[in-house]
Chains A and B, each alone.
Chain A
Amino acid sequence: MPIKSYLAHPQEGKKEDLLMALSKINHCEVIPAQNKDVIVLVTDTESEIEENILKEKLEAIESLKLFSMVSGFDTQN
């Protein structure tokens, strides 16, 4: 049951698009910075399979330049 947090960096001028795209995806919570082009993304999935499916969805977002993982927890432990 992984919980992970990421920093999501948008393509130039696409922060709002990225925010909207991330908000629509299940298992995602987003916290945009007020004054910088970066979004904190927290993912909460039930299994590794679900996690991998989610990753694929995220990587397909066009307004996303890159996302880097900051922390990861397995809540079963």
Chain B
Amino acid sequence: MCITPTNRRSFIKKMAATAAMTAAATMFPGIVFAIEQEANLPSGNDLDWKKGPCRFCGVGCGILVGVDKGKAVAVKGDPNSSVNKGLLCVKGYHQTMCIQAKDRLTHALVKKNGSYVRTPINEALDIVANKMKETIEKHGKDSVAMYTSGQSTIPEGYVASKLMKGAIGTNNLDCNARLCMASAVTGFLTTFGADEPMGCYEDIDYADYFITWGNNMAEMHPVLFSRMLEEKNRRGAKIIDFATRTTRSSSASDKSILFEPQTDLAVANAICHEIINKGWVNKSFVEKHCNFSKGLTNIGYGLEDKFKFTDKPEKIDFEAYKKFLEDYTPEKVAKYSGVSVKDIKYLATIYGDPNKKVVSYWCMGMNQHTRGTWINNLVYNIHLLTGKISQPGNGPFSLTGQPSACGTAREVGTFTHKLPKGVVTNEKHRRLAAKIWKVPYGRIPAKPTYHATEMFRAVDRGDIKFIWTQVTNPLVSLPKTSRYRPAMEKDSCFVVVSDVFPTPTSDVADVILPASWHIEKSGLYGNSERRTQHWDKMVEGPGETTPDAWMTIEVAKRMGFGDLFPYSEENHVEEIYNEYRQFHEGAKHGMAPLDVLKKQSGVIWPYVDGKSTQWRFNAKYDPACSNGEDFHFYGKPDGKAVIWQRPFEPAPEAPDDEYPFWLNTGRVIEHWHTGSMTRRIPVLHKAMPSAYVEFHPEDAKMLSIGNGEKIKVTSRRGSCILPASINERGLPTQGQVFVPFFDENMMINDVTLDAFCPISKEPDYKKCAVRVEKA
């Protein structure tokens, strides 16, 4: 970036000022520094401000990147973006600083005789294509796999899906969004028959109450939380934090309610019991727009290889549902949830009051759950029973963690069971994909193969003999890495890793491909509120760095699929997007043309007649509603949403005499996921240099543990040594410890359990049993 000492010094000063302004934005929602931000930019520079979405979380803040002489020198919030209205969080402001990291992957590296050898990119792509082809010839098409990301752009996800499912003819494609959003998807599909939230961020401007379910928004979605705080201060909106750990979000909320891990299922049912018992059900809404169903119970935890589960939904009536809820009176649930009868009733009162608008927010707390689909269903139940859904300020809202978990993983469909429209098991959907992709219909297999956890189990078993990972770092982010790291090191599997920086995953690769970073390529992301955002390439990447989409296309061509990938290097993003849009034509998911996306700071789909649809399923806002009623849940054949009977079932592993603590893992505001980018941004790394294990002060006292003391955290899978943290960032409940997972030098996922929700196949990173001792 700036090379002279003077420039470097002024740049650091600007960054220091930015950090302070960001901190102020957290403390004073709506604070304005905008004019000063621009006034303090280095003088004499003719900055070209280019728009795009932030690289990091799923909020999808609009950013403006200041480019000077081909270098990115500044980032500020896009005031024209309705998402963040000019605000950014500390990660957002500093994001482009990682580009200059000294250890940036600039050229392809190929392992030869145990050492990495710098190799021309064309030669490395030849090796990848030949190896993939040779593996298919020798072991069949299901011996090769791709594992991509909710951070892949829409074109990157699209060409990966087309290569694997359309060209090769295998469903061995899954992505890291399986680890964060799969339960949200199955929750939406089972309840509404259509994925993604019905509302949008504008709900924040109307809601009277925000209830956050296991969601530390102050650190994970800070800009949205800042908008909520602004409404709290401006018009008295209330924030209720319902969680297993006291966090910055709890401190800023009006009320913090803590529950025992896993018992959110029971509390949600108790809220529904109370709503029915008190006569707060919106009867006409339920009668017109809802069905009742139950599914199988005692459904397992996916701990064994090749675990299979298929639910068997069965229709029930309201009376049967009401009877089921008799086991969930507030009094009964209070006994094991740790939530008082008074607090359960308080929550029910908020949802039950017809004059209060309520938005429920959640993210990993509900999704990374061995009953993730169920808890998503149960929160929908609350909103459906009270009719508080699909209206400004009223609705359940599942937040995403990654910038394009919605746009790419869910909409393009980079899961094993998905296609760009619909699922592989549906003949109509396969025929549409075959038609648009111009491949024989029979080539797309009708059966899903490996979801993320099972994919790496298959690598371990030797069933997968070639794997290509893009935009993700599974050997830090998978649960139970103590099994999957040695699996990926085995000679039985050829490993290709595309990334921007070296990671523990690239450490085991046979070929490392140097990927372009965010602003070094054009792309599109889709955020939590169904907003598609486009950006143009802003700066050149170093060395032979190449966009992931183009590397996939080059490999496809080398494998003999050139006719299916007729895109040009200069314009492939536009060409791919235009092809992809055909999948979603129509009022239910129509996507904006690229020229519209280029002009605006994102557009919400369905985009119909030149207009975004902000609240789906509500006839007042959604042109796809066609049943003549106020609401139409058109994802289901009969137009009705489902209220699900789902019980409380315990976690697969709970504290016992040998492993007496719950382990909860998560993130911190300074770092993005596995830290491969943010740990290379000095201001963020210095602010949070390493992971830690957080204790309740009483537990620390009982164990005579002091702050900073080295602690060994051990489970039945593995162990990890970290410094103790007491009364610092967060406060776990007694009997629980919390560890953030961003630090590759302190691999807490060696300790976690690879149990998952049998419906969504999403692992639970929030609950397993550990013991702690001084190291």
Please tell me if A38 contacts chain B, counting CB pairs below 8 Å: yes
Please tell me if A5 contacts chain B, counting CB pairs below 8 Å: yes
Nearest-CB distance from A55 to chain B (Å)?
Answer: 16
Identify the stretch in B21-29, B332-340, B467-475, B548-556 within 8 Å (CB) of chain A at 4 or more residues: B21-29
Nearest-CB distance from A50 to chain B (Å)?
Answer: 15
Nearest-CB distance from A23 to chain B (Å)?
Answer: 13
Cβ of A32 and Cβ of B36 under 8 Å apart? yes
Identify the stretch in B11-19, B105-113, B133-141, B593-601 within 8 Å (CB) of chain A at 4 or more residues: B11-19
Please tell me if B33 contacts chain A, counting CB pairs below 8 Å: yes
Which residues of chain B have C-beta atoms less than 8 A from A3's C-beta?
9, 12-13, 16
Separation of A72 and B12 alpha carbons in the complex (Å): 10
Please tell me if B20 contacts chain A, counting CB pairs below 8 Å: yes
Nearest-CB distance from A75 to chain B (Å)?
Answer: 6
**1-55 of chain A: CB within 8 A of chain B:** 1, 3-7, 29, 31-36, 38, 40-42, 44
Cβ of B31 and Cβ of A75 under 8 Å apart? no
Cβ of B17 and Cβ of A38 under 8 Å apart? no
Separation of A25 and B8 alpha carbons in the complex (Å): 23
The A/B interface has a contact count, at CB < 8 Å, of 81
Which residues of chain B have C-beta atoms less than 8 A from A31's C-beta?
17, 20-21, 33, 36, 40
Which residues of chain B have C-beta atoms less than 8 A from A40's C-beta?
17, 20-21, 24, 33, 36
Report the interface size for chain B: residues with CB under 8 A from the other chain. Answer: 27
Which residues of chain A have C-beta atoms less than 8 A from B34's C-beta?
34
Interface of chain A: mostly helix, strand, loop or mixed: strand
Which residues of chain A have C-beta atoms less than 8 A from B19's C-beta?
5, 70-71
Which residues of chain A have C-beta atoms less than 8 A from B30's C-beta?
35
Nearest-CB distance from B172 to chain A (Å)?
Answer: 45
Nearest-CB distance from B678 to chain A (Å)?
Answer: 15
Which residues of chain B have C-beta atoms less than 8 A from A42's C-beta?
13, 16-17, 20
Output the nearest chain B residue to A4 by Cβ-Cβ distance. Answer: B16
Which residues of chain B have C-beta atoms less than 8 A from A34's C-beta?
32-36
Separation of A71 and B19 alpha carbons in the complex (Å): 7
Separation of A38 and B15 alpha carbons in the complex (Å): 18
Select A36's contact among B8, B23, B31, B35, beta carbons within 8 Å. B31
Which residues of chain B have C-beta atoms less than 8 A from A32's C-beta?
36
Output the nearest chain A residue to B30 by Cβ-Cβ distance. Answer: A35
Please tell me if B683 contacts chain A, counting CB pairs below 8 Å: yes
Known interface pairs A36-B28, A38-B28; A73-B36 also in contact (CB < 8 Å): no
Separation of A29 and B28 alpha carbons in the complex (Å): 21
Cβ of B20 and Cβ of A70 under 8 Å apart? yes
Cβ of B35 and Cβ of A7 under 8 Å apart? no
Which residues of chain B have C-beta atoms less than 8 A from A73's C-beta?
12, 15-16, 682-683, 686
Residues of B within 8 A of A (CB): 5, 8-9, 12-13, 15-17, 19-21, 23-24, 27-28, 30-36, 40, 682-683, 686-687
21 cross-chain CB contacts under 8 A: A3-B9, A7-B20, A7-B23, A7-B24, A31-B36, A33-B33, A34-B33, A34-B35, A35-B30, A40-B21, A40-B24, A40-B33, A42-B16, A44-B9, A70-B19, A70-B20, A71-B20, A71-B686, A72-B686, A73-B683, A75-B5
**The 3 A-B residue pairs with the shortest CB-CB distance in the complex, in nearest-first order:** A5-B16, A5-B20, A71-B19
